[in-house]
Structure 1
């Protein structure tokens, strides 16, 4: 039964992650572009008079080309809609789904690993601390976050590089395999773990999220049980409550811990001046101001809220179906 329970959470977590990744992929691309240090997040110099960026020389990668956008960050970052419009106009609709392959390859196992680790850790910590206490949720979330980030950081690095790859409409796209070979050839194995320190710092966001989520979910489900007596109606309301709790708790955690997202994207860029997590944050503040630590927050929230709600609702639904 313990083995089945672990597999059930692995499968449920993978389903939830895949659904959320597909629906919100365009916003993920826009968020990554806005977080980067490139000119207007991939928008070329002729797209705006405020940009002072330069396009670097083309770097060969297994017969393809990688166009890196480098230079000074523009004075006025583009809006979310402006970034979406420019990507569609210059690169085509398909570019809004750049990195979806690695995202699906990484999201399903990362969510699966996370939910399985969280579930097992919660069982273990419940024997040490008071069951269902905030301390159990915090400890479980920290363990699950550390394990997941360590396992899937290489996949997320490739996804980020693909999303930052700017191309003209009709040009050949850089594939995940080509990007992986390029990273290995130029940076070695260590290159796949760029940004891992920022990911570990992001565990604080996960801790805040799961602590708020568990508290809100329990409170809403208790209220639902006292107000609804019909099973079918109660289950439907329960899943709405789960989605609401996930969306609210995730938005709060994202706002509080967002700077680590910007730091992680900057660290994952190729050939940049960013070397360490703290050094990156200090350099961003010194060169661009404190507001730069929240570049792309709007796109991040618009993506994360429905993504988290879909992920958690799918996860809880699959667990419910498999448990019965």
Structure 2
């Protein structure tokens, strides 16, 4: 697939994932900031449009950068990447995509917390906001590599079909990645939810405040919701990449 096709397909994946999993994103952000749990759709889908732009831009840029990195690794040769190359390309794409979606995610979190319109929130943040984001990439690499390994090594059990191997790979890899990366995500969410700096002033101060209030477990607030969302999202992305992309861009999968 060309760089443009990668970007288009990534944007499509991001929009599908956002539409299906918006509520889990709100519950995760709310838990991290100490906001009450709700099932009210008008609250759960606050910031939905901003999140469409956020996830669409994030996955679009990740697929775009991932494609560029993969091509640089192969030198343009038509060969499959090794497992380590696939994971390296995915992590690199995740790192490069951070500046693309940071401002949009900030708007989305502010809308989830306070309500307000997309453009009104963006205008208010532009007058006095502070943008902070720590972005971790890698979901595009670990699951496909593990799925292939399970298919090869366990063809009579969990690797007997693509979907069984995909689900097993997602359930094995995603919780570990979610747990390891959650504290920075919690700090980022708290900072983005408090742009006025009434409570949180920086990463170190935010960590000290959270730990002082509730102990170290506070750094993992919202982990179940984030883990659930990432499990679903990784499965969806891998499924779409394996089955939908060849139908949309058949010339790239001859």
TM-score w.r.t. length of structure 1: 0.67
> 1:35 Cα deviation (Å)?
0.4
> 2:143 aligned with 1:213, yes or no?
yes
Which residue number in structure 1 is paired with residue 9 of structure 2? 12
Partner Cα separation in structure 2 for residue 120 and residue 221 of structure 1: 27
> 1:144 Cα deviation (Å)?
0.9
8 Å CA contact 1:14, 1:112 repeated in 2: yes
Which residue number in structure 2 is paired with residue 140 of structure 1? 89
8 Å CA contact 1:263, 1:280 repeated in 2: yes
8 Å CA contact 2:87, 2:142 repeated in 1: no
Deviates more, 1:299-308 or 1:23-32: 299-308
Instruction: Name the SS for the 2:2 alignment partner.
Output: helix
Residues 122 and 278 of structure 1, relative CA distance in 2, 3 Å threshold: farther
Residues 21 and 248 of structure 1, relative CA distance in 2, 3 Å threshold: farther
Instruction: Name the SS for the 1:24 alignment partner.
Output: helix
> 2:120 aligned with 1:178, yes or no?
yes
Residues 282 and 124 of structure 1, relative CA distance in 2, 3 Å threshold: farther
Unaligned runs of 5+ in 2: none
Match of 1:156 among 105, 121, 142: 105
> 1:309 Cα deviation (Å)?
1.1
Which residue number in structure 2 is paired with residue 29 of structure 1? 26
**CA offset digits 1:134-186 (Å, max 9, x no partner):** 54244323321222111110000001111112xxxxxxx51111100111123
Deviates more, 1:178-187 or 1:281-290: 281-290
Which residue number in structure 2 is paired with residue 241 of structure 1? 165
Which residue number in structure 1 is paired with residue 231 of structure 2? 305
User: What is the count of residue pairs matched by the alignment?
Assistant: 243
8 Å CA contact 1:247, 1:309 repeated in 2: no
8 Å CA contact 2:89, 2:141 repeated in 1: no
> 2:243 aligned with 1:317, yes or no?
yes
> 1:11 Cα deviation (Å)?
2.4
> 2:203 aligned with 1:277, yes or no?
yes
User: Alignment RMSD, CA only?
Assistant: 2.7
> 1:29 Cα deviation (Å)?
0.8
Match of 1:102 among 50, 54, 67: 50
Residues 148 and 213 of structure 1, relative CA distance in 2, 3 Å threshold: same
Which residue number in structure 2 is paired with residue 64 of structure 1? none
Which residue number in structure 2 is paired with residue 52 of structure 1? none
TM-score w.r.t. length of structure 2: 0.84
> 1:239 Cα deviation (Å)?
4.3
Match of 1:256 among 180, 187, 208: 180
8 Å CA contact 2:144, 2:238 repeated in 1: no
> 2:213 aligned with 1:287, yes or no?
yes
Unaligned runs of 5+ in 1: 44-82, 166-172, 228-233
> 1:213 Cα deviation (Å)?
1.9
Residues 180 and 276 of structure 1, relative CA distance in 2, 3 Å threshold: same
8 Å CA contact 1:244, 1:309 repeated in 2: no
Which residue number in structure 2 is paired with residue 265 of structure 1? 189
